Amino acid sequence: MHIIPAIDLIDGKCVRLTEGDYTQKKVYNEDPLEVAKEFEAHGIRRLHLVDLDGARAKHIVNHRVLERIATQTSLRIDFGGGLKSDEDVRIAFESGARQVTGGTVAVKEPERFLGWLQQYGPERIILGADFKDGKIAVSGWQEQSELELFAFLEDYIQKGVQYSICTDISKDGRLEGTALELYKDIIARFPGLKLIASGGVTAIGEVEALREAGCYGAIIGKAIYEGKIRLEDLIERG
């Protein structure tokens, strides 16, 4: 299983929100590049970079930060937040993203999302499935849709999606544990999906549980920044 630390960006700074609430913001570092270099120094190979400004503005904003990290580290970056147009995706890839994540666009403009899947290939496009109470949420988690999580995943898997980041909004940033049982259900139902778990990872034991459940990757954010999980412990487990 891939260990994927997260850096969330507001005003070019490394921050974390609680349950996607922009009023519950905590700045952890003024320079995200410093954070990324620390991850790399501990043997981390991947990074989940989220443009929260972009999610709110509905277009890419922090691509210069992406470019700095991509050019000054060897991290394999997946980038999301605010990718709503073909131009946004082009900028993200040209700025150094190895993969991009589309969530809101997959709900509101499925033909556009499928166009990206066809143009760039399923290895480079990740389906963002942010959910609360079993329903998909969009627009930086500011809107709740009526789409059921499992139906949403099934539809896109049938259309060629191979990767999905599934984030339980109710757990994100709360340090209260992951949606482990739900992830097990997703893996059982869609065994070919490369499922990346996100939200609520609090302790190293939960990382192990996600690995044992068969998750392709686990995104870890606040637990690292708050010292609940040491980078050294993550590397000891590969």
Catalytic residues: 8, 130
* Residue indicated by tokens 């191979």: 162
> CB atoms < 10 A from the CB of 45, how many?
13
> What does the angle CA 1 – CA 8 – CA 194 come to, to the nearest 5 degrees?
25
Are residues 44 and 234 in contact, defined by beta-carbon separation less than 8 angstroms?
yes
User: Angle at CA 223, nearest 5°, toward 64 and 9?
Assistant: 20
CB 83 within 8 A of CB 125: no
Q: Which residues contact 132 (CB under 8 A, 6 or more apart)?
A: 141, 144, 168, 169, 170
